[in-house]
Structure 1
Amino acid sequence: MSKKVAVILSGCGVYDGSEIYESVLTLLRLDQRGAQVQCFAPNAPQLHVIDHYRGEEMQESRNVLVEAARLARGNIKDVREGKVEDFDALILPGGFGAAKNLSDFAVSGANCTVQPDVLAFAQAFARAGKPVGLICIAPALAARIYGPGVVCTIGNDPDTAAALTKMGAQHENCAVDEIVVDTERKLVTTPAYMLAKSIGETAGGINKLVDRVLELA
């Protein structure tokens, strides 16, 4: 029987939403493994909009759900509609949207909060003992989802790792093509573009993360 996996997106574009390669690689691997996938995103405004060509902030506003629908080819739902009993696992790709739209980690660091609808959905998976995968910078949410002692990785960046440690997480350094598994909590994390220099490097870790999440489910 195929596993049902919820994927939370945070917009569309590395600098202000979901990292596109990470998102597509996640969805591709889930499809290759025969999983049924439903994408979600919070129905909320982005922190800001970045011109990905010039790298500059644009004077306009966009909605996270509407932008994330680009990645999901329109097949996406408001995260408030998500019900943990409908799924076997949850995965969050990275990109600055995880630190700007799913949380305010990019602004508040260790004092960050998680978007309430995203936090409620993710914590439901934690309470149900269902596996969760957090990619790239998304492990910044781990301590808020699971509480102190959760084991995770963002790669080896000392400042980011220190912020996660201050939040109560136990950070482990990790190579780009590897994963860190908190077996007690069924949490799987991988650095992806926190370390990757190419889409191929990114794929190695994401494929392992998806495979392990499905195994734990």
Structure 2
Amino acid sequence: MRKIAILAVGFAPNQSEITETISLLISLSEFKAQFKIFAFDRSTPLNHHELYDLESLNPKDFDALVLPGGIGNATHLSTWSNDKIKMTVNPTVEKIIKQFYEESKPIGAICMAPIVVAKVLAKHNPNITLGENFSETHLVEGWKVTVEKCPSTDYITCRDTKVITTPAYMNDATPFQVFTGIRGLTKELVEMA
């Protein structure tokens, strides 16, 4: 059984997106993967799931990493909302992403989270998606990252970096469309792990 680390912002308003997170948990359960949720902010619980301190996440204990979406990726895990192309990533988050990459373990990123992963792994030229109409795609491409258009029901896999992304609510999507894309990403992530 594969063990997946979930790196979430937290579950207060404007942190991790709840529909995307629950879609991920349901999909991980369907594909028989164990998971632990590590949160930047553990002050707001997620019913039925313990939140672990981000500092305690050891990549050696897991087969893959996934970051749910939500605006918190741009405000808490990174400085994208203020700094755009000059953004920085929280040092702990950056270290975790680099460790998973260096150990050749797959990394999934949903909705806004691909921006965080792309910034950390920019020198490795990952392919990601930010949906079909993201107005600031050109800024992310300034890091020499390839950004592909993708509907919310699908996902993009970069085999070279083992990064898998789906746009979720970066597009105008229904909950079922979001779930469909996340389910596909999760299946791919578990198979690659």
Q: Identity of aligned pairs, percent?
A: 30
Paired AA for residue 211 in structure 1: K
Whether contact under 8 Å (2:97, 2:117) holds in the other structure is no
Residue 42 of structure 2 corresponds to which residue in structure 1? 65
Task: Give, in angstroms, the shift of residue 11 of structure 1.
Answer: 1.9
Question: 2:108 aligns to what SS in structure 1?
Answer: strand
Q: Which consecutive unaligned segments of at least 5 residues does structure 1 have?
A: 43-63
Contact 1:19 / 1:95 at 8 angstroms: preserved in 2? yes
Aligned residues between the structures: 192
Q: 1:72 to 1:109 in 2, by over 3 A?
A: farther
Instruction: State the TM-score, normalizing by the size of structure 2.
Output: 0.94
User: Once the two structures are superposed, what CA deviation does each residue of 1:94-134 show, in whole Å capped at 9, x if it has no partner?
Assistant: 01011111111111111111111111111100110000000
Structure 1's consecutive aligned runs of 4 or more residues displaced over 3 angstroms after TM superposition are none
Separation in 2 of the partners of 1:155 and 1:72?
29
8 Å contact 1:151–1:169 — kept in the other structure?
yes
Q: What is the identity, as a one-letter code, of the residue corresponding to 1:65?
A: R
Question: CA 1:198–1:158 in structure 2 vs 1: closer, same or farther (change >3 Å)?
Answer: closer
TM-score, length of structure 1 as denominator length: 0.84
Match of 2:64 among 89, 108, 115: 89
Structure 2 equivalent of residue 183 of structure 1: 159
Coordinate RMSD, CA, aligned: 1.4
Amino acid at match of 1:155: G
Match of 2:145 among 140, 151, 169: 169
**Aligned to 2:118, what secondary structure does the other structure show?**
helix
Residue matched to 1:3: 2
Larger radius of gyration: 1
Which deviates further from its counterpart, 116-125 or 144-153? Answer: 144-153
Greater shift in the superposed pair: 198-207 or 137-146: 137-146
1:9 is matched by which residue type in structure 2? A
Contact preservation (8 Å) 1:196, 1:202 = no
Deviations 1:12-61 (A, max 9, x none): 25x6200000000101110111111000012xxxxxxxxxxxxxxxxxxx
Given that 1:9 and 1:18 are in contact with CA atoms closer than 8 Å, whether structure 2 keeps it comes out as: yes
Q: For 1:97 and 1:72, locate their aligned partners in 2 and report how far apart those are by CA, in whole Å.
A: 19
Distance 1:137 1:121 in 2: 18
Distance 2:144 2:55 in 1: 27
Q: 1:92 to 1:166 in 2, by over 3 A?
A: same
Equivalents in 2 of 1:164, 1:73: separation in Å?
A: 36
